[in-house]
Structures are given as structure tokens and as C-alpha cells.
A and B are shown apart, each in its own frame.
Chain A
Amino acid sequence: MYDKTMSLSQAADLIKDGMLLAIGGNGMHRTPSIFSLALTKKPVKELKVCGAAPGLASDILFASFQADTAYFGFFGLENEAGLAPGMRKSMEGDNPKAKAIEGS
């Protein structure tokens, strides 16, 4: 049987500049945050992120300025955790580093 297992670092190497990533999970739940943290160790940039409700894993990539576009219906950390700080950091201000394409 073909063995697809690999290290987190090797998996992160599969991601290239400018890729559109569909990151699973919803808000704070079942998001592959460790994978996003592994990506922050790589020089990859200009990533695009899509999902119905991107949360923590996507927010990490905006906090590190490696993602420049988010396609979403809801982008937040839910309830008491509130708004997504990484997304806000990269999208607000006079010279935003990222843009939001909001739909639902």
C-alpha cells in the first residue's frame, strides 16, 4: 500500500507561493493550527485562504503576513475569543497587507 505519511515539515514544503488553500475546521474547532505554525517556519508567501468559517489556523497565516487574501463567510474565533486578531492586523490600517472577499 502506498504510504502517504510524512513529517509536518515535509507536508508544509508542498505549499508553494500564491497557492489557494482550503483550510478545514470552523472557527476554533478542528482547525489544523499546527500545520499553519509549520508554514510560518517556511518562506512561503502570497497565500490565499478560503473556507466557510476560517478561524485560528487561517488567522495564523495572516498574523505572519504570509496570506494576502481570504475568501470567507465568517472569519473569527467565535464567542468569547472574538474577532480574528491576525486577520485584523493584516487587513486594517492605511496600508493593508491583505484583502477580504466576503460572501456566504
Chain B
Amino acid sequence: MDYSKNEMMAIATGREFSDGELAIFGVGLSMLAGFFAQRNHAPNMIAFTEGGVYGSTPVGGLPWGIEDNRISANATSFTNAIDALGMLVASGRVDNAVIGAAQIDKFGNVNTTGIWTEGTQPWKVGKYTLPKVRLNGSGGANEIAVGAKKYIIMAAHEKKRFAEKVDYISSPGYINGGDDRKKYGFPGGGPSAIVTNLGILRPDPVTKEFYLDSYFVFSSVEEIIENTGWDLKVSPNVKMIPEPTEKELENLRAVDETGSLRKK
């Protein structure tokens, strides 16, 4: 069957969703993954964005933003970020979500704030210093990471992105592992999976360190270890992720009308 790696990644992410969930999606490929799930196997999923676009299904292909006409055209309601993040997410009502990451570490902490020169990271020097590369900030991902019952992180699997420790925590995963989230009083449960273009990592139930759970037909355990910046543990039951079914591909492409996932 002919499909792209990004399509496989979106389908693998979509499989993490169940019917009837209240879900929030970030912008980009994560939105396609979520709405693929809604179309494919979770028709009663209610989805919203941090901009307050609630109960919608995108039309015309990949929405360009969280308040794009493609996402807001058929929304049940279009309120605001205070309702979406301040009420629905912060109260712990959201069942599942997807966020993206520029840099990610072994405890699922996400950095979308900046990239620092080695040795000048704020956590190393004990104060905030200016980053070498200024990224776009957490947006609503911080609230989602803190408040959603669980969420999936989607990221391109490259060694420079998968760091032992992120330069800066924009959106917290399990902080330093274990029950660290409890110390901070977060209502949400933390990331349940990191889905990449090479495979799926999941958190150890006790240490919360992410290990390799499964890989795609076009990747391998060795390739994933090579592209991970920490000493990645591999599940003794590591397995290959089933390829997309015809029905899954058809439903994904119906959502991804403009073929964003098929672009190189």
C-alpha cells in the first residue's frame, strides 16, 4: 500500500483516541490526526481548539490555525481561549489531546520556547538567559500538558530534538520523572505517548521515563535508538505497528483534502 511516513504517524496518533472523548488539538498535523480519529472510529468525539472553536469538523483540508475558517466554519460555538483553556482544560475535563514539540526529553517535557547554546541553558546557569534561536512559545500546549487527563506528543524523531534534558520546559511532561507532577498539583495525568515519524514511545509506569514501545514497517529499533539523544530503553515486547488499513487511509485522506501529509 502506498502511504507517506507522515500519514502513518498521523494514523498511529489517531489510534490513540477513543469514541466519546472530549479532545483538544493543536495546530498542524496533530489536528489532522485527531480529526482522522473522529472520522474513522470516534464519531462521538467532541473536539475543540485553544482558540475556543468547539464541536467542529474541518472543511477544505488542513486548517492553517486554531481559528482558521476551515476549522471554525461548522463549529457548534466559537468562544475564546479563556473558555477553552481556562474552563474546559484547566478543570480537568479534557480526556485526550495532541501537542507538538520542537525539543523533547526522556520524561516527556516539551520545549517550544527557544534553543540555547550548550552550557548557557537557564537550568544550567541558574537564571534566564536569551536563547540562540527564539521559537514560537507554548501557546496553549502548556495548559493542555498540565490539565488534560492524557495527551499525545507528536514530534519529528531526530537526535537534536530528542534530548536527555530540554533546554527549557515550555510544557511539562513528568518533569524529573516519578510522581513529580503531583508535587506541582497538576490536574492532568501527563503524556501517554510520543508518536514520531519512526515509532511510538511510552512512559514507564513508575519512573515515567519514555521507552521504545513500537516501530513502523519502514523504521527499526536501531534507527530509533540512533536518533534518540538519551539512552533509550527498549520494551522486551517491542513490536511493529500495523500498517494503515485501506479504510484508515481513505478516512485520513478525506480529512487531509489538500494532501499536507503527503508532501515531502
Contact = CB atoms under 8 A, between A and B. Distances in A.
Interface of A: 26-30, 52-53, 72-76, 78-81, 83-84, 87-88, 91-92, 96, 100, 102, 104
Given A28-B64, A78-B27, A79-B28, A104 B133 contact: no
Nearest to A70: B137
A73 to B, nearest CB: 5
Contact of A73 (B65, B132, B137, B260): B137
Most chain B CB within a 10 A radius of its CB, from A87, A96, A102: A102
B65 A79 contact: yes
Contacts of A88: 133-134
B70 to A, nearest CB: 10
Interface in B55-89: 62, 64-69, 81, 85
Contact of B51 (A26, A87, A92, A100): A26
B133 A92 contact: yes
B199 interface: no
A83 B142 contact: no
Nearest to A87: B134
Contact of B64 (A74, A78, A83): A78
Contacts of A53: 51, 65-66, 139
Interface residues of B, number: 27
A30 B130 CA distance: 30
Contacts of A30: 67
Contacts of B139: 53, 73-74, 104
A29 to B, nearest CB: 5
B143 A100 contact: no
B25 to A, nearest CB: 13
B108 interface: no
Interface in B1-46: 27-28
Nearest to A84: B136
A79 B30 CA distance: 11
Given A53-B139, A79-B27, A27 B134 contact: no
Interface string B135-165: 1111110110000000000000000000000
B121 to A, nearest CB: 16
B113 interface: yes
A87 B136 CA distance: 9
Task: Describe B's contact surface by its main secondary structure.
Answer: loop
B65 A96 contact: no
A78 B137 contact: no
A73 B152 CA distance: 20
Nearest to B26: A74
Nearest to A53: B139
A72 B65 contact: no
Contacts of B68: 29
A88 B114 CA distance: 10
A102 B138 contact: yes
Contacts of B260: 80
Contacts of A76: 136-137
Given A27-B67, A88-B133, A100-B134, 7 more contacts: A26-B65, A29-B65, A73-B138, A79-B64, A91-B130, A92-B133, A92-B134
